[in-house]
Structure 1
Amino acid sequence: MGEQEQLNRLVAFLHKSPTPFHAVSNMKSRLEEAGYQQLSEKASWQLQPGGQYFIIRNDASLVAWKMPKAKDLITSGFRMIGAHTDSPCLKVKPNPELHKHGYFQLGVEVYGGVLLGPWFDRDLSLAGRVSFQDEEGQLRQALIDFEKPIAVIPSLAIHLDREANSGRAINAQTFLPPILGQAGEKPDFRALLKQQIEREGAHVSQVLDYELSFYDTQPPGLVGLNDEFLTSARLDNLLSCFMGLEALLSSDLVEGQLLICTDHEEVGSMSASGAQGPLLDHLIERLLPDAENRARALAASMMISADNAHGIHPNFSDKHDANHGPLINQGPVIKLNANQRYATTDITSSMFRILAEQENVPVQEFVVRSDMACGSTIGPITSAEIGVKTLDIGVPQFAMHSIREMAGSQDVINTIKVLSRFYRAEQV
């Protein structure tokens, strides 16, 4: 498989996945093309050795796995890779219509730790899931994507705010409502959604509710004199979802292999479809109903939590510990924190170093400055919830939580190699 082909597939995936709902739908398509079978959590399962399956919860979280052929799960356990499908963004409020001075705007709510400044003066579109009644009165859902630019959040001219470059606080309530157009009276947003759903092929009696977010329409791209950088929205953390899926689909069917991509990480993961919810625990209980067998299998398992890391920024190098500033395109980053904000232990990090060495891939480390707060991932949550040994790693990137982020193209290729090796590991 060519490296350029892999990067092209990544760019296409990012472009087609403006929301977690779309990301899961696209992952589902690839899994089905590879012969994976979707299972309903409501149904009884008849799993076969060598079988390939996946489940989806709330359209925004997905777990895919392979059942081992030659060994049982009790002794071999699972090789797990975890990531999250959500990214910081601006979500549309339930009663969003604003009509001021002849302009039609939508009220938005900030989802997660958004870096707000880059959202101004971008060509924005709108996507997500809509719940509606069809003509027979049945409750249905549809994924929609306006695709074309339909909105913008214009900056205030510097002539009217001479202190703008000296540091201005952004008021999320008053500064952020995007402008969608001009109107003589306040439009009905749900009527616009009805038109969009019907334009995409469904018949709608009435739109009920929705989960919609704005996104930047500029497509992902390879940037730099030698295409060494990847720039895109939602690299945190659709990049890790993609790398985990690539590794799963390319790995040999030897051991139990599992990929979990959950929603709501950016707001704490505490939901039915988040890492702090029961999704993974429920799955493992169904695969191994006997408590002792389940405990033995988890003791033989390992998870790699993949979530991007902070690369050292040449203009802001003082924000890093000098000995732990990862460089873009110098290899995946092992993330460590003494206060358990990351789940890495010396054992799990050593295992990862061995796997990377087998693939001739360099490895870096990230430790936050001792005088700064540290973010976290699904790693500590999953490790605590199911008791599996866990490692936190990530591709180094710039502009985390911006509307457009930046990572290294070679880091993507190298990290997929190590994750693929992990899935093939005889022992973890």
Structure 2
Amino acid sequence: MRSGCAGAAWFNGAMADPTDFMTGFAQFITAGPTSYHTAAVMAQGLAEAGFTRLDERQEWGSVAGRRFLVRGGALVAWVAPDGLDDDAGVRIVGTHTDSPALTLKPSPSFVRAGWQQANVEVYGGPLLNSWLDRELGLAGRVVTLDGVERLVSTGPVLRVSQIAPHFDRGVNERLTIDRQYELVPSYGLGDEPDIVEWVCSRAGVPAGEVAFGDIRVVPTQAPAVFGIGGEFFASARLDNLSSTYPAYRAIGETRPGRDIALFVAFDHEEVGSGTASGAAGPLLSDVLARIADGYGLGVDARRALLARSSCISADASHAVNPNHTAKYDPLVQPAMNRGPALKVNAQQRYATDAISTALWERACRAARVPHQVFVSNNDVACGTTIGPLTAQRLGVPTVDVGVPILSMHSTREMCGTSDPEHLCAALRAHWAGA
């Protein structure tokens, strides 16, 4: 597995210079090109910071202290007291680890017009044009016949080349991309190895020993701070590592208190969350049930514990795009470097309500960080998050928040350099009891 991160060295408290925080963030993104890599990087860092890894296939025994588990591309970590007071609850922060991408289909290699190409499928809802004319790599996991999972990632080996305007005079008036025939990456001139065999060799296993692989096509351009004052940050996967990294940092700096501090980073949010490791699946409820078991709570006591609990759903928000202001609410237009945004929607595409907003307000005030609001233009459809799913499954007050970004679902998204650390500080304050 490729890893450029320092593990427990990240957990050294809040940093005054946002560029220091963003350096760690850039390393985290580079080490986590897929959800599986991101979960593995967080697992390594938490273990080095003193968290104990639990195996879902085994009995847990004590659940107090600093614990975590990994399920595929998802991770759950918590910090819990030795005993629970009668008024204790669970302070949940939820994010997701996946991003829109292209993924290899089974037996993807073929030759067309002398070019070696890889057949791909679209994962989630990416901005398709952002995949054109970029150097792309491959990353993900392969699983051998004996069930062993291996992570793999490569440098730039593929490219989806756009047609020149000489062949399509109307390309600058209206760009359309056929997902089956015009979004196919090329990786050679016809005599290169089968792409799956090559990926398996990079993972250190013969192709014949591999049962299957979850392999994404990924952008390879490194994250970068830019702007006259270094106030901007550009990278792939800001949706939603701009929430996952701050929450990961915050849980690593959290100490046991009255309540249970719990961080869950789900997978598969971009395709609806309906998987074993997604927010619509049993992951969070399974973990909460086993934590309750560890404290010896009966059915009624478990329900009371949940009734005293809450959730902050942290997922990237939208900053106002100055070239498309008509698509935004004319009065509510979040800006970069003015703090994370509270996300509000009357149709409950976000789970925010008055009760949960008070929870968020307390956290931001305790952390002394700025914050703002995002609400959609009435004529523009609103996206959704894991927030409503979590509220529906658990029945706990839930608030949706996120770092404002531009070019959401592009291979090159953009945020401010101060906002991720502001989010981290607010989550840390929330877990500290704000």
Superposition TM-score, scaled by structure 1 size: 0.94
The 5-angstrom pairing of residues 17-32 of structure 1 reads 17-32=32-47
Aligned partners of 2:57 and 2:85: how far apart in 1?
Answer: 23
Residue 19 of structure 1 and its aligned partner are, at CA, apart by 0.4
Determine if contact 1:86/1:265 at 8 Å carries over to the other structure. yes
**Unaligned residue ranges in structure 1 (runs of 5+):** none
AA at the equivalent of 1:192? W
Counterpart residue number, 2:203: 197
SS at match of 2:99: coil
Determine if contact 1:216/1:403 at 8 Å carries over to the other structure. yes
Counterpart residue number, 1:250: 253
The 5-angstrom pairing of residues 34-113 of structure 1 reads 34-47=49-62, 49=64, 51-57=65-71, 59-69=72-82, 72=84, 75-113=87-125
Counterpart residue number, 2:379: 371
Residue 179 of structure 1 and its aligned partner are, at CA, apart by 0.5
Matched, 1:324 2:332: yes
- Alpha-carbon RMSD: 1.5
Residue 380 of structure 1 and its aligned partner are, at CA, apart by 0.4
Q: What percent of counterpart residues are identical?
A: 37
Aligned mate of 1:149, from 138, 151, 156: 156
The 5-angstrom pairing of residues 392-411 of structure 1 reads 392-411=400-419
The 5-angstrom pairing of residues 116-155 of structure 1 reads 116-133=128-145, 138-146=146-154, 148-155=155-162
Determine if contact 1:87/1:401 at 8 Å carries over to the other structure. yes
**Change over 3 Å in CA distance of 1:291–1:96 after alignment to 2:** same
Aligned partners of 1:315 and 1:15: how far apart in 2?
Answer: 30
AA at the equivalent of 1:53? R
Counterpart residue number, 1:171: 178
**Change over 3 Å in CA distance of 1:75–1:164 after alignment to 2:** same
Aligned mate of 1:238, from 217, 236, 241: 241
SS at match of 1:75: coil
SS at match of 2:95: strand
Q: Which whole-Å deviations, capped at 9, do the CAs of 1:15-44 have from their partners, x for residues lacking one?
A: 111000000000001100111111111111
SS at match of 2:166: helix
Residue 109 of structure 1 and its aligned partner are, at CA, apart by 0.5
Matched, 1:418 2:426: yes
Runs of 4+ in 1 over 6 A off after TM superposition: none
Aligned partners of 2:206 and 2:176: how far apart in 1?
Answer: 44
SS at match of 1:113: coil
Aligned partners of 1:336 and 1:220: how far apart in 2?
Answer: 30
Structure 1 window deviating more from structure 2 (299-308 vs 284-293): it is 284-293
**Change over 3 Å in CA distance of 1:204–1:113 after alignment to 2:** closer
The 5-angstrom pairing of residues 295-334 of structure 1 reads 295-334=303-342
Counterpart residue number, 1:284: 288
**Change over 3 Å in CA distance of 1:74–1:90 after alignment to 2:** farther
Residue 132 of structure 1 and its aligned partner are, at CA, apart by 2.1
**Change over 3 Å in CA distance of 1:391–1:122 after alignment to 2:** same
Residue 194 of structure 1 and its aligned partner are, at CA, apart by 3.0
Counterpart residue number, 2:5: none
The 5-angstrom pairing of residues 212-223 of structure 1 reads 212-223=215-226
Size of the aligned set, in residue pairs, is: 414
Q: Which whole-Å deviations, capped at 9, do the CAs of 1:49-70 have from their partners, x for residues lacking one?
A: 4x1111111x20110011124x
**Unaligned residue ranges in structure 2 (runs of 5+):** 1-13
Residue 95 of structure 1 and its aligned partner are, at CA, apart by 2.1
Matched, 1:181 2:188: yes
SS at match of 1:305: strand
